[in-house]
Structure 1
Amino acid sequence: MPSNGVITLEELNRRLADPSVSDEELSRYFNVDQERSGPFSPVLTLNSNTVSIPPTAEGTARSAALLNSANFIARLRRHVAFNARVGEGSYHGPILVSEGDSWFQYPFKLTDVIDDLMQKYAVFSLDAAGDTLSNMFREAEYMEAIASTGASILLFSGGGNDIVAGGNLSAHLFDFDPAKSPAAHLRPSFNVVLDEAIGIYSKLVRQVAQKFPSLHIICHGYDYTIPANGPWLGKPMASRDITDLALQKAIAQVMVDRFNERLSLLQSSSARLHYIDCRGTVPAGEWYDELHPTNVGYRKVANKFAAKVEELSQRARTVDRRANKARATVSKETSSRGPTSQALGTASRSAKTKEGPTGRSLHIGLNAVDPAHYAGWSGPLNACEFDSQDMYEIADGLGYVATALLTAKATRENVTAEIERAAQDLVAGDIFFISYSGHGGQLPDFNGDEDDAVDETWCLYNGQLVDDELYTYWSKFKPGVRVLVLSDSCHSGTITKNIAPGGLAELAVVWVPLARAMPSDVAARTFRQNRDFYSALGSSLDKLEARVVSRAIDTPISCSVRLISGCQDNQVSLDGPGNGAFTAALINVWDHGRFNRDYKAFHAAIGRKLPDTQSPNLWSIGPSNPVFDAQTPFAI
């Protein structure tokens, strides 16, 4: 090396290929081009004070080639270090795979999170500065890496580009308004960007969990970034006349909070996802730029990861010590083929881990109703019990604690007791799945909340359950609980109820012999025969719903309810010999669990298999839950 400390390109290449030369030593040969860098995608240049670049076309080309391969070179260096650690024979710690953005790989200039963790652990790194969530999920390199290394933990870092809207933050900001709060300066489109990011996260977690059910995933939310007139935060805000530094910082905090809130929500519904909250970890003086901590700041984040790795590794060692005993004492009990008309059900042992969210399900199927209540009408149907049994088997196979109530057992008392029990027991991240197959009915609208002056009902064995009642039950569920409702009955388009439903498309009512609808003359006779019961019910609901409406204004319904129904409110659902038309289409689309898209796609695919006279509805009430939106159907 020349005496002035400047090295040649050849010498730099040699040092890059030498694993004994640390990244910290190599950092002096590079600078960061802030103008050309993207968010979480630093662009390096050679430091002309330490690297001699020949002033020729060949020299320029060689230096460009070296810089373009910075991520690749950094990855190779890490792979060499990984192989050396696991090959030395003395390492007995966990095997980790890491996939992430520039918080996991900031080539050469910074000692990032993975650089710190590699000092103690064997980490097979797939990280690349500038990598995006969508690209990581599309290429899914981590799947092969987990399989080939036998890793027990996947470290994941992604979504930073989404927080700053891929460098286009100004498009998601309103112009400065002194009357607006920091949060009000963010357009609704910013939430859409984050929801899409969490949707990818959710798919990635499911993808890994399905193939590697015992593997843990550790992810993180970013810390509070500090706008500093940079191209990702400060300047986009200034372009909207948001120039006050305190306001810029407050808006950035809202952005980071919203991303962290979504990751926390995802963790609550994912058995083996562990989210690290990094907010407040990196103080103001430990930021290298608007988005990246300094070496000291990264070390503090790495310490949080290390603590979680140690916790999970200790848990795994405890499991290993008990493994032989557990195998020797495994239960030989067997479960029945399916439900009877009694309330049944414990989940499949292998489908649900002790950790993570709980799935509770209730499956209601009535091939007849009690003539004593329905004015002498028994309402015979063919396939509703079959529907309930099939939904039970799907839920049981996925690990739900499943219950079936068939015909005479499907009373108002039994059904509402099961719903109330679920509302009491389930907590944030859990899911309640309820399916109904039977007649749909209509009653006079007692509280004036229906545009068509009628309330939709489920015809249970000894009386109708009104949509207004269902809403009051949903209001009892805790925040963060997911509720999935499948209703294969007539007039079921909004059976879950909404305080302020939007208009529905006008669709012709088609009456056919196999419709799951209580005939209008039977409905009239049933109401007249039970006028006192339904009038008293309507009066009590009027008072109860007034309280619910007040709550909905002050504190909106806490759980997220999603309904997929067999038809619209002004249509009928068809019965059949083996299943109802809606349930048959659903089972066909589900295809024994091979369907791997979200609920919106599930609803559309079911609709394509039904006649034009039966249009399934997709309906939601309660707070938006992007994790729920992105999940495959029935996922716990």
Structure 2
Amino acid sequence: MKFENVYWDEGSMKVDGVYPSILAVGDSWFWYPFPGGSLINHLGRLVATREHIILALGANGAEAFDYTHGKYNKMIRTALRMHGASLSAVFISGGGNDFAGVNDLRPMLRDDCSGAQDSSSCFRDGNGELTLEWLMGKISESYRSLIGQILVASRPGAKIVVHNYDYAIPNGKGIFGRKATWLRQALEDAGVPATLQADCVKTVINRLSIELEEITKIDPSRIHFVDSRGSLDASHWANELHPKPSGFRLIAMEKWNPVLVRLGLSA
């Protein structure tokens, strides 16, 4: 499967006689299969201006843990071993599925949030298991492990670019108009007031952003953070987790492209 200079399987790439200069390790923001594609389709067109070829690794629904200890670990290690020395960059999209499912978000919320006055009081306290702090530590550990592998396997000039999605809207919309089992269901089950539900999602995204900013400090010359918070309004979202093509394109052009140009990956 391919789209212009983006490949989602190495077999198609080999048939075309090309090799990747960029790996894109990601979840549905790199794999979303519906018309208009995902974020990586638009990033592909940007880096095509520098004649880059992208090979996407991962899958829809992938969690950060899957990249280093789970089902995509072998795939990613193999790709790094085969292509690491010739890579210009690795893009990473991960962490969203670690908290977006009802079975992921609900345990981090208090049993009854109906009396909450702000979003922070909706989350369980402390850093024990199944708290927001515990989850962010787990995501950070997975990112650090993956980035360590990339730094070892790739040439010194290769860049690593991570991102933080945007403030998803917990409106209950799923794919093809179905009811979602992602954000709103978990928030409603916990009794979170409707006026605080969007702020709860912002709390999680903001907390993820702090972790990603910290991760760039491992090597600021090579690891770069694309902050895409606040890019989209309600009209740009197709469902609770995924923008429409126009939303993906907006994030690619306004948030990613300035970083890619600065890194010499886009003209």
Q: Identify whether the pair has TM-score above 0.5, normalized to the shorter chain.
A: yes
Query: Is the Cα–Cα contact under 8 Å of residues 8 and 55 in structure 2 kept in the other structure?
Result: no
Query: Is the Cα–Cα contact under 8 Å of residues 96 and 123 in structure 1 kept in the other structure?
Result: yes
Closer/same/farther in 2, CA of residues 240 and 190 from structure 1, 3 Å limit: same
- Find 1:225's aligned residue among 168, 171, 174: 168
* Structure 1 residue 100: Cα displacement: 0.4
Partner Cα separation in structure 1 for residue 219 and residue 15 of structure 2: 31
Q: Gapped runs of 5+ residues in structure 1? A: 1-16, 23-73, 88-93, 316-636
- Find 1:305's aligned residue among 249, 256, 265: 256
- Find 2:22's aligned residue among 96, 99, 109: 96
1:80 equivalenced with 2:80 (yes/no): no
Give the structure 2 partner of residue 148 of structure 1.
Answer: 82
1:239 equivalenced with 2:189 (yes/no): yes
Given the two structures, how large is their TM-score scaled by the length of structure 2? 0.79
Query: Is the Cα–Cα contact under 8 Å of residues 39 and 249 in structure 2 kept in the other structure?
Result: yes
Give the structure 2 partner of residue 194 of structure 1.
Answer: 136
Give the structure 2 partner of residue 573 of structure 1.
Answer: none
Partner Cα separation in structure 1 for residue 181 and residue 215 of structure 2: 30
Say which structure, 1 or 2, has more relative contact order (CA 8 Å, 6+ apart): 2
Query: Is the Cα–Cα contact under 8 Å of residues 119 and 203 in structure 2 kept in the other structure?
Result: yes
Give the structure 2 partner of residue 453 of structure 1.
Answer: none
* Structure 1 residue 261: Cα displacement: 1.0
State how many pairs are aligned: 238
* Structure 1 residue 82: Cα displacement: 8.1
Give the structure 2 partner of residue 127 of structure 1.
Answer: 58
Closer/same/farther in 2, CA of residues 234 and 166 from structure 1, 3 Å limit: closer
Partner Cα separation in structure 1 for residue 8 and residue 218 of structure 2: 33
Partner Cα separation in structure 2 for residue 306 and residue 143 of structure 1: 27
Partner Cα separation in structure 2 for residue 86 and residue 206 of structure 1: 26
SS at match of 2:24: strand
Alignment of 1:382-421 (within 5 A): none
Give the RMSD, CA atoms, in angstroms: 2.7
- Find 1:185's aligned residue among 100, 111, 122: 122
Query: Is the Cα–Cα contact under 8 Å of residues 82 and 124 in structure 1 kept in the other structure?
Result: no
Q: 1:288-309: CA deviations, max 9, x gaps?
A: 1111111111112222333323
* Structure 1 residue 134: Cα displacement: 1.4
More helix by share: 2
AA matched with 2:8: R
Partner Cα separation in structure 1 for residue 252 and residue 145 of structure 2: 25
Partner Cα separation in structure 2 for residue 186 and residue 300 of structure 1: 31
SS at match of 1:202: helix
Q: Gapped runs of 5+ residues in structure 2? A: 126-130, 173-179
Give the structure 1 partner of residue 128 of structure 2.
Answer: none
Partner Cα separation in structure 1 for residue 116 and residue 92 of structure 2: 39
Partner Cα separation in structure 2 for residue 148 and residue 224 of structure 1: 36
Partner Cα separation in structure 2 for residue 302 and residue 255 of structure 1: 22
Partner Cα separation in structure 2 for residue 266 and residue 311 of structure 1: 19
Partner Cα separation in structure 2 for residue 222 and residue 85 of structure 1: 33
Give the structure 2 partner of residue 207 of structure 1.
Answer: 149
Q: Which has the larger radius of gyration?
A: 1
Given the two structures, how large is their TM-score scaled by the length of structure 1? 0.35
Give the structure 2 partner of residue 277 of structure 1.
Answer: 227
* % identity of equivalent residues: 26
SS at match of 1:118: helix
Give the structure 1 partner of residue 205 of structure 2.
Answer: 256
* Structure 1 residue 144: Cα displacement: 3.1
SS at match of 1:126: strand
SS at match of 2:224: strand
